[in-house]
Amino acid sequence: MTVKIFSNHKDIDENELAGASHVLCVLTPDQATAPLDEVLQSRLDRRGIERAELNKSPLTADLPSGGKASWVVVDPKKTAFDHLTALRKALQPLLEENPATLTVLLSGATSERRMMAEATVYVALLNAAELPSRKSKQDKPRLTRLVLYGCPEDVDFTFARAVAEGNTLARTLTMLPPNELTPAIYRRRIGTLAARHGWQYEEYDLKALRKLGAGAFVAVAQGSDPEDAAIVHLSYSPKKATKTVALVGKGICFDTGGHNLKPARYMHGMHEDMNGSAVCLGILLAASRSKLPIRIDGWLALAQNHISPRAYKQNDVVKALNGTTIEVVHTDAEGRMVLADTLTLASRGKPDLVIDFATLTGSMAVALGDRMSGVIGNRPALVCQAVEVGRRAGERLCAFPFEADYDEALESKIADIKQCTLDSEADHILAARFLSKFIEHDVPWLHIDLSSSNCKGGLGAVSSDVNGFGVSWGVHWLRNMMGKVPPHADLAKL
């Protein structure tokens, strides 16, 4: 997509503006007049509302030329999530018509226009992206050109483009039908991405994992035919990297629940259970595009949880890669099983930090709904920092406790630890306590339970239900590690 910049309103090309089919007007609070003011006032009068109502929600109206315009107020006192949500809602009726060109008019102080220019480009790129669809008729054309008036000339859209590309990759993979993304197909796709972007690629198939003694992962994967599960290891290693982060992603391509078979209502959508691995790939891609000087190791646990005569069962006892014996309590708690051995592999490299992403527990969704995700970790300061970075990035996290006495619920009479309990109480905390047992060398670790990976009607910057939550947070986290101030920081008053 090309972006054409006019640095101030005096440079407005009246002929181009008169012929613009889709226009977004980004306003400041209490702005006396607005671009296309007559059209705006006429729309307000017809609806019988005051101009102050724009501070609450965007407004869209048809233009005399036959096009459409949206007006949105961006309040510097509000958070990044509020800004991105307002821009998404204002852009949505324009992008639904699949315009080839979008014209954006920015108002306010230079710092505000700089931040809003980047945010607007980011939201537009996200929501104009082509996502998987198998409908016979496709809507064309798609947005190919953005024209920005009032945009400072020094704005660099590299970061916005990179994060949007990473988020789009995560959503694309997550939305693919399960017959188009088996572990074998997924591995080939990842191999193609690695070759394209210069990532090192290594994989541990089931034969190798059995030899290593990764019994927790193998227990889940052995119920599938063919046995195409694997742990994939990717490395992005820039020459000037001074820090290393390991990203671990749950990649269950389809989850039946195993012998504890899910009812139809809860099995529907289980092709999205690989979302954590897709988020890791999205972060890796965005970091590569941004050329962040930090080494990233991606560890993706790719498998399916099927039911078969070979599938693992309740009361089985298996031995994990680190030697811990696990009593299986519920076969639908497969995510923590595949992550256990993957976390051990990731932590053995002694990175500065391990972060895992997983659509892991229903109890986190019960606790938070689908508008926020949860974070738990073994360093309280890191957990607090994760919440703050989420506020800056517009992808909100809520912290949960990590107290040792929760381990009492996981005590087993026949093994070192229970996989889970049969009660749903605090399962998101118990899952984190379980996973922590497989982190070696006391490596700092954050666990992101992606309860908001699918939010009906969209969330924050993204209008699709599958929203790629975690990609923006992850890249902002990496920038934060390098001492760089993330976008939106000024507007969020941080």
Amino acid at 394: G
Catalytically annotated residue among 187, 250, 336, 433: 336
User: What angle, rounded to 10 degrees, do the helices at 158-175 and 471-481 form?
Assistant: 140
396 is annotated as an active-site residue: no
How far apart are alpha carbons 479 and 289 in whole angstroms? 13
The 3-class SS string of 52-89 reads HHHHCCCEEEECCCCCEEEEEECCCCCCHHHHHHHHHH
Sign (positive/negative) of CA torsion 309, 312, 314, 317? positive
Q: Hey, which residues does 69 pair with through a beta bridge?
A: 23, 61
β-pair type (244-255, 353-358):
parallel
**Quick one: 387 exposed, middle or buried, by C-beta within 10 A (0-12, 13-18, 19+)?**
middle
Catalytically annotated residue among 142, 189, 243, 262: 262
How far apart are alpha carbons 489 and 389 in whole angstroms? 10
Mapped onto helix, strand or coil, the DSSP state of residue 135 is coil
In 3D, which of 370, 356, 298, 361 has the Cα closest to residue 334? 361
Q: Hey, which residues does 296 pair with through a beta bridge?
A: 236, 245
Rounded to 5°, the CA angle 31-33-38 comes to: 145
The CA–CA distances, whole Å, from 224 to 177, 204, 254 equal 18, 16, 10
The gap from C-alpha 259 to its chain's centroid, in whole angstroms, comes to: 30
How far apart are alpha carbons 168 and 472 in whole angstroms? 11
Phi and psi torsions of 296, nearest 5°: -125, 125
Residue 128 tokens read as 């104009």
289 is annotated as an active-site residue: no
CB 477 within 8 A of CB 353: no
How far apart are alpha carbons 384 and 380 in whole angstroms? 6
Which of the residues are catalytic? 262, 336
